[in-house]
Every structure is written in C-alpha cells, then in structure tokens.
Amino acid sequence: MRIKVRLFAAYREAVGRGEMDLEVEGVLSPLDLWRRLGEEHPPLLEFGPSLLVAVNGEYAALDRPLKEGDEVAFIPPVSGGSFWVTDEEIRLGELIDEVRNEEAGAIVTFLGTVRRHSRGRKVQHLEYEAYPEMAEKKLEEIGRGMEERWGVRAAIVQRVGHLEVGEASVAIAVAAPHRREAFEAARYAIDRLKEVAPIWKKEVWEGGEEWIEE
C-alpha cells in the first residue's frame, strides 16, 4: 500500500525531511505507521504522548483505517498562528495583526481579565490549566464557525498558569466588513469557548482555593 507521509517542525527535524512516499505492508492505522517510522527514527517516539494526526487534510483518530493513496500528516502541538494557548503575557496587538485585512471595516477585541473580587471573596490570583492540544483545536473550530456564520476573520488566545489581578486570561480579535457582525461574532466566541474548550480555572484567595465551574 502506498502512503504519503508529511511531517512538520520537530517531527520533520527528527527524520530529516518533511515529505516521503512509502510502500508499506501491514500498516492498518496512523498509529501503526508512526511506530514504523519510529523504528527507523527513534527520536520520533519521544513525541508520542502529544501526537496529532490528519488524514487527507482532516484531523483523524490514531486508529483510523488507512487506504491506498492516503496522505497522513503527523502534527506537533500548535504554538502560535491564529488560535493558541500560551503561558506568556497576552499581547493584544499580535491578535489584531492576525486579523487585520483590507476588507475589514471594523476590528472588535475582547479581553478577559482577572478581577479582584469574585463570589464575595477577595481574589489573590488565578491559576488556569488546559489540555493545550485539544484546546487549540477547539479554538480553531470556534474560529471556523465564526467565519462560516458571519464572514469574519478571528484570532483567539488563552493564557494558562499563574495570573495576577488585572492580567488578561483570554483575548479575542475579530475583523469584519461591518461592526455588527464583528460584535456578534466576538460575543459568540467567548461564550462558546467557555462551553467546549478544555480549560480550567482555580480561584485562590486568602485562606482557600477552588476550581471554578462556569
């Protein structure tokens, strides 16, 4: 069976090339193929726990059956681009630059920030945790939904780790030909993010702490 393989970033460097056409026997799934590649290039197997795969341009399960002529892409966790999770300070200007374009008559931004008081308690700081590979996929899905529904261009970043009062935990930028679509899409994005993205928040106050369900 002939399979085209594509590798990116650290995976590409571990193998020494980004594309290859392979004749394989007994390969039933992307995971089988990954293990086969790992036998020839052992450093690849170090990345196994964070493995993402796409088949013919669509994200796929590692046990998906492969067929003749499939293109299999092994994708390291995403960092950067228009939808990402970071432990660094959010820079709103970077999101605006991601969405800015000649057709935009409006750019709407949203910053979620850490407030001092919550649920009757004086917050000292927040701690955010995420399943970053899945969270970035969900952020990208939200962005695609915004584009399909309102015709906008969007960028979303979620911060994780220790956040002090006043720091931004999430930022959204939306560019659209008209302001109405930009505002509606931005509100949808933050509401949807809280529904589907695997991101968790802990409030820490003097004398206690609690993971918050929203």
The 10s digit of each residue's pLDDT in 75-99 is 765 444 589 999 999 999 989 988 9
Q: What is the largest CA-CA distance in the chain?
A: 64
pLDDT in tens, 125-170: 999 999 888 899 999 999 989 999 999 999 999 999 999 999 999 9
Dihedral angle of Cα 85, 90, 93, 97, to the nearest 10 degrees: -10
Owning domain of residue 135: 83-212
- Check whether residue 66 and residue 91 sit in a common domain: no
111 plus 200 within the same structural domain: yes
* Residues 99, 190 within the same domain: yes
Q: Are residues 98 and 191 in the same domain?
A: yes
**Other Cβ atoms within 10 Å of 128 Cβ, number:** 19
Q: Do 89 and 115 belong together in one domain?
A: yes
H or E element in which residue 108 lies: strand 106-113
Residues facing residue 202 across a β-bridge:
127, 211
Last residue of a domain, one of 53, 75, 97: 75
CATH number of the domain bearing residue 22 = 3.10.20.30
pTM of the predicted model, to two decimals?
Answer: 0.64
Range of 37-51, 72-86, 100-114 with top mean pLDDT: 100-114
In angstroms, rounded to a whole number, what is the distance separating the alpha carbons of residues 176 and 198? Answer: 27
- Domain endpoint, select from 25, 45, 75: 75
Q: Are residues 172 and 150 in the same domain?
A: yes
Answer yes or no: do 90 and 184 share one domain. yes
**Single residue among 22, 52, 75 that ends a domain in this structure:** 75
203 plus 98 within the same structural domain: yes
How many structural domains does the chain have?
2
Handedness of CA 140, 142, 145, 150 (dihedral sign): negative
Q: What are phi and psi of 121, to 5 degrees?
A: -120, 155
Which SS3 state, helix, strand or coil, does residue 207 take? coil
Backbone angles phi, psi at 65, to 5 degrees: -65, 135
Shared domain check, 128 and 170:
yes
Residues 106 and 157 in one domain: yes
Cα distances (Å, whole numbers) of residue 144 to 13, 68, 148, 151, 179: 30, 30, 6, 10, 19
88 and 67 assigned to the same domain: no
Looking at the fold, whether 29 and 11 belong to one and the same domain comes out as yes
CATH number at residue 131: 3.90.1170.40
Residue 211 predicted with pLDDT over 80: yes
The arithmetic mean of pLDDT across residues 193-202, rounded, is 94
Alpha helices by DSSP H, the chain: 9-15, 30-40, 92-99, 132-150, 179-196
